[in-house]
A and B are shown apart, each in its own frame.
Chain A
Amino acid sequence: MNIQSRIAILGGAQSMLGAHRDDVRLEELVFEAAEAALDDAGVKRSELDTVVLAGSDQMDGRSISSMVTACPAGAYLKDEIRTTIEGSFAAVLACMRILSGEFETALAVTWTKTSESPYDLVSSLSYDPFYQRPIGLSDVIDAAAAVSTYTGSKSTLADAACSVVVKNRSNGEVNPRAFLRYPMARETIDDSPYVAYPIRRAEIPQACDGAVAVLFGSAQRAKAIDHQPVWVDGVGWATGEYGIGVDPPVHMRALRAAAARAYAMAGVVDPSREFNFAEIFDGTPYHEIFAYEALGLTPDGLGPAFILDGASERHGALPVNPSGGLQATNLRFASGMSRILEAYLQLSGRAGPVQVASPRQGIAHGATTYPAQSHAIFVMRNY
């Protein structure tokens, strides 16, 4: 065993997406992604050392749903480990396993078949039965309450949120991998009713079914693949309070802690200048705006200006969610892995019509849906 100093991404892919992937069972959906990711890397299942899974039992409607998805993810008779937190944490675990030196290849697989379950009900069950459920909370409701803690100009913030949706839907329109491939007009958002003030219906993206798989590998293994490997040089993750507590949620302290660790590991000094793009959690546009600040892409208080000035546009100074993000492809539980996949494709020059010009370094971000208690950050490079 040799402790490794670098993690490579060898390949990655997603299944076909759809509002209702009724043509496949859950395990067949998972197989689609795992098969495609191994094909992308040119790696056979026999060369796979470990498989890392992330799934949500309540969303999947199966107790320990990884039992049924493990083998279609490639795990038959393999070392396999699973997590029940958001999909990007399977990538966190896969990275750790590569760094341990015990594994040359680690396939991280996650999925969401949201068409099979009542999402809002499942979400509300994550609230504790004593103090929260009787109040009628859900993740969107809590996210809306979180937005109210913003201390800056509310009208500017709402305008910025609208702009984020327009931007990401415009990016998704040209991304062949996106689910919603048509734009959203500003007027449509403005006319859209409030779900929970100030979050409007048009700001919560329609969910889709799909699975995402990313193959991580050692530096040694990266030499053996045909195409340009991408390096994960910084990984950080952190968990904040359960529900809204002492910290104003808009500060996203857990995201700041996760980013600080990832930046320290990768040697990032000035995140506002060093990244060529960012793929981040935008389950609502407000999350993207607050993340601009928490990630240090712009100073605190200037999140709304960052989008309103055009900096995060696809052709701006620091494109954010050039893929279209969750606003265009809301893979729910698998959204973080989707961000990693899109970041990987950018850095390997294979992002297609949404490719940013000659990127060298970017970040991918996964978050535990709307209250965003836990975050994972990946600093990725192609050099």
Chain B
Amino acid sequence: MSDMATASSPLIHPGEWHIHYDYAVGEIAERFFTELRDNATIYALRCPSCKLVFVPPRAYCERCFVRTTDWVKIGPEGVIEAFTIVYEPFDGLPVPPYAVAYVTLDGASTALANFVTDVDLSDPEQASAALAIGNRVIVDFVDERKGLITDFHYRLL
């Protein structure tokens, strides 16, 4: 076997996956996105059993295992439950820095993530103080809404 070739460096075969998906939004989320786009309004669904108000809305309550039925208008103000400020770039994600917060909108039981704008992010300590848990925000809708979650963001009150 002495005449067999020997590798001088690890041999790598490059590969890429390009898969297109058509994610069905479904009737429940379609209503959420349509209200967002057409009426600049955020809707949630309430469980008829435990009364939790879910946003994003979903067709079922995973705790009570019953179908949710009651649409509830929520916001436009809410309270920060969790936040972070992104300073390093992530593959495929927005250019940093940007602030993200989970906000429980008034009338909702669950927190909904979105960007927080109009915060000076140059100093991490100062920015984090401004975004402190418990601080209140208001929803700002963009002018040209497309029926996407990025049709709005949060702004500190």
* Binary flags per residue of B1-33, CB closer than 8 Å to A gives 1, else 0: 000000000000101010111111111110000
- Does B62 contact A71, Cβ atoms closer than 8 Å? yes
State the CA gap A133–B22 with chains docked (Å): 24
Chain A residues near B141 (CB, 8 Å)?
none
Please list the residues of chain B having a beta carbon within 8 angstroms of any beta carbon in chain A: 13, 15, 17, 19-29, 58-60, 62-65, 67
Say yes or no for A115: interface residue by CB 8 A criterion: yes
State the CA gap A71–B63 with chains docked (Å): 8
- Does A24 contact B62, Cβ atoms closer than 8 Å? no
State the CA gap A38–B60 with chains docked (Å): 14
- Does A38 contact B65, Cβ atoms closer than 8 Å? yes
Say yes or no for A136: interface residue by CB 8 A criterion: no
* Binary flags per residue of A18-61, CB closer than 8 Å to B gives 1, else 0: 00111111111001001100100000110000000000001001
How far does the Cβ of A59 sit from chain B's closest Cβ, in whole Å? Answer: 10
Chain A residues near B20 (CB, 8 Å)?
118
- Does B23 contact A24, Cβ atoms closer than 8 Å? no
Instruction: Give the nearest-CB partner of B21 in chain A.
Output: A61
- Does B24 contact A113, Cβ atoms closer than 8 Å? yes
State the CA gap A125–B21 with chains docked (Å): 15
State the CA gap A115–B143 with chains docked (Å): 33
**Interface size counted on chain A using CB atoms at 8 A:** 32
A-B pairs with beta carbons under 8 Å apart, 12 shown: A21-B24, A22-B25, A24-B27, A28-B28, A31-B62, A34-B65, A35-B60, A35-B65, A44-B65, A76-B62, A76-B63, A115-B22
- Does B60 contact A115, Cβ atoms closer than 8 Å? no
Chain B residues near A125 (CB, 8 Å)?
17, 19
- Does A45 contact B65, Cβ atoms closer than 8 Å? yes
Chain B residues near A22 (CB, 8 Å)?
24-26
Chain B residues near A61 (CB, 8 Å)?
19, 21, 23
State the CA gap A201–B7 with chains docked (Å): 45
How far does the Cβ of A351 sit from chain B's closest Cβ, in whole Å? Answer: 27
Going nearest first, the 8 A-B pairs with the smallest beta carbon separation are A61-B21, A71-B62, A25-B26, A45-B65, A22-B24, A31-B60, A28-B59, A24-B26
State the CA gap A79–B48 with chains docked (Å): 26
Instruction: Give the nearest-CB partner of A24 in chain B.
Output: B26
Instruction: Give the nearest-CB partner of A117 in chain B.
Output: B21
Q: Of A20, A44, A71, A129, which one neighbours B15 at CB under 8 angstroms?
A: A129
A23 with B26, Cβ < 8 A, contacts A35-B60, A71-B62, A72-B60 known: yes
Say yes or no for A130: interface residue by CB 8 A criterion: yes
- Does A121 contact B19, Cβ atoms closer than 8 Å? yes
State the CA gap A265–B27 with chains docked (Å): 46
Say yes or no for A116: interface residue by CB 8 A criterion: yes
Instruction: Give the nearest-CB partner of A125 in chain B.
Output: B17
- Does B62 contact A72, Cβ atoms closer than 8 Å? yes
Say yes or no for A74: interface residue by CB 8 A criterion: yes
State the CA gap A24–B21 with chains docked (Å): 15
Chain A residues near B67 (CB, 8 Å)?
35
State the CA gap A122–B59 with chains docked (Å): 29
State the CA gap A26–B22 with chains docked (Å): 12
Instruction: Give the nearest-CB partner of B65 in chain A.
Output: A45
- Does A24 contact B59, Cβ atoms closer than 8 Å? yes
- Does A130 contact B58, Cβ atoms closer than 8 Å? no
How far does the Cβ of B31 sit from chain A's closest Cβ, in whole Å? Answer: 12
- Does B29 contact A25, Cβ atoms closer than 8 Å? yes
How far does the Cβ of A56 sit from chain B's closest Cβ, in whole Å? Answer: 12
How far does the Cβ of B48 sit from chain A's closest Cβ, in whole Å? Answer: 14
- Does B27 contact A23, Cβ atoms closer than 8 Å? yes
Q: Of B19, B25, B28, B62, which one neighbours A117 at CB under 8 angstroms?
A: B19
Chain B residues near A74 (CB, 8 Å)?
62, 65
Chain B residues near A117 (CB, 8 Å)?
19, 21-22
Instruction: Give the nearest-CB partner of B23 in chain A.
Output: A116
Chain B residues near A26 (CB, 8 Å)?
24
How far does the Cβ of B13 sit from chain A's closest Cβ, in whole Å? Answer: 6
Chain A residues near B22 (CB, 8 Å)?
115-117
State the CA gap A28–B25 with chains docked (Å): 10
How far does the Cβ of B67 sit from chain A's closest Cβ, in whole Å? Answer: 8
State the CA gap A20–B26 with chains docked (Å): 11
- Does B19 contact A25, Cβ atoms closer than 8 Å? no
Chain A residues near B26 (CB, 8 Å)?
22-25, 28
Instruction: Give the nearest-CB partner of B28 in chain A.
Output: A28
State the CA gap A38–B64 with chains docked (Å): 13
